[in-house]
Amino acid sequence: MKELIEYIEGKGPLYNLNPLTKLFLVLIFWVIAFYSGFHILTLMTLFLFILAFCSGMGDRFMKQASIFSLYVIPFIFALHVFFPESYGTQYPPLFPFEFNPSFEKIYSAANASLRLYVLFCSSLVFVSTTNPLTLLRVISSKRFFGLCIPYGVVFFLLFVNRSIYLILYDLEQILDAQKARGFSLKEASWRNKISGYASLLVPLLTLALERAQRQAVALDLKGFRVRSERGNIKT
């Protein structure tokens, strides 16, 4: 999972762009995706595929597309087909399920799926082709309207970026430990998957809290704090 979103050195048109230019283009891409219809979203999806293959990211992009298609698109279609759009002034029933598929609902679900897919894949393409350290260095060295971004904001962004990879690393370690005990979420039944997710989230949350406490102590010892007075972190 971690290799799908982490930055890897490569060659291509996306790797050669300035990080700020890529960030600006991604924001424009998001705005267009929010206000576009089905046909424009389809063209944007094809454009993302072509851009990813030209930059040597074809395999990773196909894995990202398969994950999105398996887990997100069925949920969106079920949400549009099984749930009514509005009850007006009436009170909603206790079980608000209404299996009444129509062309309008299927078209709306496809439109929402494509919009989320474009937002999702454009973000992953940006993350996969942009070195976070280079991006933060460029952002911290540039001035916008005569103002520079504070060091604390840059440090926070770097801290969050690093924490995401650490959480994904912990997740891989927990999954490997479960496989070593003979348990696999992919091969388990639906009932066992519920307990499997619980046994996955509890150690993941525990490791994240322990790491956050150690990082807070280290930051406090080095004098990096928001308040002027010294913190009082108890271990």
Query: Domain-by-domain residue ranges, the chain?
Result: 2-131, 150-221
Q: Say how many C-beta atoms besides its own lie within 10 A of residue 72's C-beta.
A: 14
Give me the tens of pLDDT residue by residue for the chain, a chain 235 residues long.
555 556 677 777 777 788 888 888 888 888 898 888 888 988 988 888 888 787 777 777 777 777 767 767 777 777 777 765 544 445 555 445 566 667 777 888 888 888 888 888 787 777 778 777 777 777 777 665 556 667 677 677 677 767 777 777 787 788 788 778 777 766 666 667 667 677 778 888 888 888 888 877 887 777 766 555 554 444 4
What CA–CA distances, in Å, run from 230 to 152, 212, 224? 17, 18, 9
